Structures are given as C-alpha cells and as structure tokens.
Amino acid sequence: MDSQVNVLETIEKIVKHPLYYLVGIASDRLIYQSTEGDIVNLWSSTLDGGDRIKLTKEGLFEVARPRREDRYIVFTRDVTKGHEKHKVFIVDVYGEESIRSIDMDPLRIFGIAVHGETIVYSGSTEKDIGLYIFRGYEKPEKLYGTDRFFFVTDTNGDMTVGYGNLHGNPKSYELFIYMHRRDEMLIYTPKKGSVNERPIIIGDKILFASNYRDSHKGLYIYDPINGKITEPSFRYSDYKELDITDYINYGSTQDGLIWFIGLSNARGYAFVDGKAVRHPPGTPGNIEIHGDTVYMHFSTLKQPQAIYRTSLNGEGWERIIGEALPQDIGSMMGKIKITSYKSFDGLEIPCILFESNIEKPGPTIIFVHGGPWSYVGDYWRAFISALVASGYHVVAPNFRGSTGYGEEFRLLDIGDPGGGDLMDVVYAAKYARKTGLASKLAIIGYSYGGYMTLLATVKEPGIWRCGVAGAGIADWEESYKLSDAIFRQFINVLFAGDFSKLKERSPITYIENLKAPLCIIHPQNDTRTPLKPIIRYCEKLLELGKTFELHVLPSIGHIIDRPDDLVRILFPAITFLNRYM
C-alpha cells in the first residue's frame, strides 16, 4: 500500500502542477489558459502578471486569438461530457460580465477566429464539415459545406482564411479564402500537391507556411488581389543559423513585423523580424510583443509551461506566471539526449532519450506519441515526466509520420499506418537495448500511440514485458462506422483512401498473438477513438485467456482537460508497469 501511495503522490505532484499557456493580449491585459484548479480555464492579468482574474469556471476547448483592442474573448466549450459537441461563448477580459453563449446547436468545432462582432468557425456534424459565421445577432449561418476537412485560422471580417485537405489529395493541404462580400469560397495552392498550412491575415495579405519549394516548410506571403506570392523580408538573419524544418507558430506585431517560432532538431526558437529572441534551450509555444517586451509561454521536458517576458534586445529573462517543479520530482530527472537511429529500411528516425536517475541498463518505456501528425520535442509532457519520475527511462521515437522533420518525412505515414511507423517503434526498442539503456522494455501510448501499442503487442509480441494502451484504436473498420464527418475523413486521408487496409492494420486481426500483459485505459465518451471496439477487443481477450486489465473512465472524452482525469490514467498505468516491470 505504501508503494501505491508513493506512486500517487509522485503523479499528483507532476499532473497537478499548474500549467500556463499565453493566448494573447487584449485591453492591455495578458490572456492565458491555465490548469490552475481542477480544469483548464481562461484567465487574464496585468502585463506584469499581477491582478489575475479567473474568467471561466467550467473549462474550455479552444480560444480565438484576441486583438489588442478587444474587450471580449471568444472561446468554445464541450457541452456534452466529452463527446466533443461544442458551443461558442463570450467573456469580457475583466470578468465583470456574465459569460454569454451563442444560440446554436452544438457541433464539433475545430478552428475559430474573431474580428469585432464577427465570429467564424469550422465544425463537423455527422453528415458534413461546414464553415459558419455569427455576426452578433440571431443564430450562426452556415456559409459552406463539404466532406473534406478544413480548419479556420483567421478572419478580418471581409475575408476568412484557413486550410485543409480541399483538393482530395491525401498528401496535400490547400488554403481557402472565403470572401464575405462576394459570398465566394476560393481554394488556393502555390503548387499542386504541396502542403500549405495555418494562414494568418496581415493587412490585405496572407502569411502561411508551405513546402511548395522544398521538403522543409518556409514562410510565404500571398496577395489575393494580384495573385502574387513572395517571401517575407526580414531586417535580421539570425534564423539562417538554424536548419528550421517546421513552424510552431507565427504572426505579426502591431507595427507589422513578422514573428515566428521555428522548429529545429526537436527544439523551438523564437524570432521577431528575423532577430533571435533569447531564451534557454527548450520550446516556446506562443509569443506576443508589446512595445519592446516579448511575452511567451515556454517549457522543457523538465520544466512545465509558464509565462515569461524578456526584452527584444535580449535583456532580462523573467518568469512572471508559473513556478518550477518541486525539487524531489526534479531530482529524479536525468539526462536528455536528442538523437536518432536507423530503422528497418535505413531511414534515420529522430528520437528523445530521457533518463531517470536510476541504474543503466534499467526498466525502459517506449513512449509512442499520438497524432500521428505530432512529435515529441523538448517541451513539457506530463505523461513522459511522470514515467521518468517514477523510475523509468523513456525512449520517445519520432516515427515516420511525425511533424517537425519536413513534409517528405511526415507524408511517409500516409497510406501506411501501422506499417513503417510500427517498425520504427520496434527499432526504437532495439536501439534502447543496443545503447545499454534498457534492461526490460514496455510500450505505452495514448490515442494513435494507444493504437500503436495495441498493434505492437500483437504483431511483435516477443519484445515487450507489458504494454499500456490509452484511448487506442482496436478495429479501424468499426471505428470508421462510428465516426462523424471529420474523423471519417481523417481515416480516409490517413489510409490514402485504401480501405482494404483497414482490417489488415487493425490490432483485433492479430489478437491471438498477444503474449505480454496488457493494460487498456479508455474514456467512456470518446468520439475520436470510440469505446465499443475496445469492449469487443477485451471480450476476445477474455475468450482467449489473455492477461489484461481494462479501465473505463466514466463521463469523459478523448481530450483530457482536468488534472484529476490525467491522474486517473497515469495511476493505473504506472501501477501496472510496476507490477510487470
């Protein structure tokens, strides 16, 4: 019992440590999200981090980036206990008025932007994916509908921009520009088959990221009036010292200077007008410039997200909202190494080695990230930190399909989920042994990482001492039938339209091969990776006499926004690992 108490105490110190994410600046106040308390909520403070006001109490999903002159902040909230049916809400930055909600039918919203009283968002129903507008009166109006997914990223009231898989090519993303006065949807790409993402409106032009000239993304400016595309012009060239392979975030200052956070070798670097913003090694997530002061939220694998400020001249680096981890937790965290290894076909696979302060070789976890279009870098992940602080080395492969290493690398996963990416994970396990890090090996993941865990334990059953699968996919065919429009399209894009592979790449097809004990943890109301196929998977495990345990988390969905719910995932996971490792 004492050991379980210790496990729980360690997990809670990590998971319940408050996180802070900068949203923007409005009415001379910092707008940020925080897990302070029992759920992610919206806060505001003065520019020095004082006079903190909690603006919401019931959680939120997404916040539209505010403008400096805004008095009101627009956000979405799941109103269906994890089923991800959202409504739009409005709150003032001083918390002086009651939160208002838009009169609308709930739907899955993924992308929202605001300009004055105009709110534009993209959302999915069971039937289609639509573009919606709310002009401050009556009900939202649907402007456009399709079966292809797209995301709203910005609006200026006259035009709304975003991006998505709009030409139907699973390996390309196109920009869209909706011209409100003409009621016209324009789809733009600088090159057929290229990947173009996250357009932001600057004046009458559009800033976006694209790989149309190179496998790595660059920043470009499109002028929709004359149809010309150019590269941004910067006064400084600090960024040229790095091999930037992707962009975490970008935008412009009030003076029209472009800022961006570039990604290079699993770390982020901030620049304003091409000049480096000095910060320690790690990764900024968002920045705002007010006068000559830069505000950002920043984290590393050892330090949680907090809000900092510094000078554009690089003087004075100050944490204004947030605290360091407790010393006893930090003392368990050892060396971090950003490295790579060769996979089955000779492809170089980037990965993170995060050592616990235990002996080597020692018990080691292969952590598989979700997405699959995501990555593990030098930024805070409570899941990984909890494993390390609990006495496990962690190897986190950025398998083919991960973001941050160029579009050629990411697109290797399209049409081949559970193929080359699975072998990359298997070779990560081999690499962990080869380097002398691992004595025993387990695999763990959530979402797509949960799917990879289920698949790895049945297709490569001899490698693992045990596995922990959170919110995974057990049967792609059944999951497709249970999905709404956007997740049907997600599966279509991931498999490049080849539905003949759905059964072949499903863990349930190979369930008889399972040897290692398996822990399955799944939210009850998950609509991204539905529970029903997991229940059927467990019934088969029971029939086959396999060793497993199932934890169904009631009344929550795929997105974990309460620290207590993350504890409910990590506590059974680490207790299970301790039993079998």
Give the Å distances, CA to CA, from 279 to 44, 177, 391: 24, 36, 30
Residue 3: inside a domain: no
Residue 267: inside a domain: yes
360/306 same-domain check: no
Q: How confident is the model at residue 538 (pLDDT cuts 50, 70, 90)?
A: very high
User: What DSSP state is assigned to residue 140?
Assistant: -
Helix (H), strand (E) at residue 477: helix 476-482
Say what the pTM is.
0.96
Tell me, what's the pLDDT at 136? 81
Residue 437: inside a domain: yes
Q: Which of 246, 413, 526, 565 is catalytic?
A: 526
Last residue of a domain, one of 260, 295, 324: 324
Q: What is the pLDDT of residues 393-408, one digit of tens each?
A: 999 999 999 999 999 9
**Locate tokens 């008025």: which residue?**
97
Q: Is 479 a catalytic residue?
A: no
Residue 575: inside a domain: yes
Cβ-count burial of 319 within 10 angstroms (0-12 exposed, 13-18 middle, 19+ buried)?
A: middle
Q: What is the mean predicted confidence (pLDDT) over 19-27?
A: 97
| Angstrom distance (rounded) from CA 578 to CA 386 | 13
Give strand ranges (E) for 55-140.
Answer: 62-63, 72-78, 86-92, 100-101, 108-115, 118-124, 129-134
| Angstrom distance (rounded) from CA 14 to CA 35 | 12
Q: What is the pLDDT of residues 79-105, one digit of tens each?
A: 999 999 999 999 999 998 889 999 999
Q: How confident is the model at residue 336 (pLDDT cuts 50, 70, 90)?
A: very high
320/335 same-domain check: no
Residue 207: inside a domain: no
427/547 same-domain check: yes
Residue 355: inside a domain: yes
Residue 225: inside a domain: no
Residue 425 has pLDDT above 90, yes or no: yes
242/389 same-domain check: no
Q: What is the mean predicted confidence (pLDDT) over 117-123?
A: 96
Tell me, what's the pLDDT at 169? 96
Q: Which of 447, 479, 483, 506 is catalytic?
A: 447
3 token code pair: 């050991």
Q: How confident is the model at residue 2 (pLDDT cuts 50, 70, 90)?
A: low
420/511 same-domain check: yes
Last residue of a domain, one of 324, 352, 373: 324
Of 531, 409, 397, the C-alpha closest to 475 is 531
410/423 same-domain check: yes
Tell me, what's the pLDDT at 402? 97
Q: Give SS3 for 510.
A: helix
Cβ 74 vs Cβ 55: under 8 Å? no
| Angstrom distance (rounded) from CA 144 to CA 130 | 5
Q: Give SS3 for 237.
A: coil
Of 355, 339, 437, the C-alpha closest to 389 is 355
334/454 same-domain check: yes
The C-alpha R_g of the chain, in whole angstroms, comes to 23
Beta bridge partners of 187: 176
Q: Is 558 a catalytic residue?
A: yes
Domain count, the chain: 2
Q: How big is the chain, counted in residues? A: 581
Q: What is the mean predicted confidence (pLDDT) over 481-507?
A: 96
Beta bridge partners of 136: none
% residues pLDDT > 70 (the chain): 100
301/433 same-domain check: no
Q: What is the mean pLDDT of the chain?
A: 95
Q: What is the pLDDT of residues 453-483, one digit of tens each?
A: 999 999 999 999 999 999 999 999 999 999 9
Residue 354 has pLDDT above 90, yes or no: yes
270/374 same-domain check: no
Q: How confident is the model at residue 278 (pLDDT cuts 50, 70, 90)?
A: confident
Last residue of a domain, one of 278, 303, 324: 324
**Locate tokens 């040897």: which residue?**
515
Helix (H), strand (E) at residue 12: helix 2-15
Phi-psi region of 437 (alpha: psi -120 to 50; beta: other; left: phi over 0): alpha
Helix (H), strand (E) at residue 20: strand 20-26
DSSP string covering 363-429, please? Answer: EEEEEE-SSSS----SS--HHHHHHHHTT-EEEEE--TT-SSS-HHHHGGGTT-TTTHHHHHHHHHH
Domain that holds residue 249: 234-324
Q: What is the mean predicted confidence (pLDDT) over 237-241?
A: 91
287/408 same-domain check: no
Q: How confident is the model at residue 1 (pLDDT cuts 50, 70, 90)?
A: very low
**The domain that contains 402 carries what CATH number?**
3.40.50.1820
339/469 same-domain check: yes
DSSP string covering 190-228, please? Answer: SSTT-BEEEEEEETTEEEEEE-SSSSS-EEEEEETTTTE
Of 368, 367, 350, the C-alpha closest to 417 is 368
Residue 159: inside a domain: no
Q: Which of 115, 558, 561, 565 is catalytic?
A: 558
Residue 303 has pLDDT above 60, yes or no: yes
337/440 same-domain check: yes
Q: How confident is the model at residue 317 (pLDDT cuts 50, 70, 90)?
A: confident
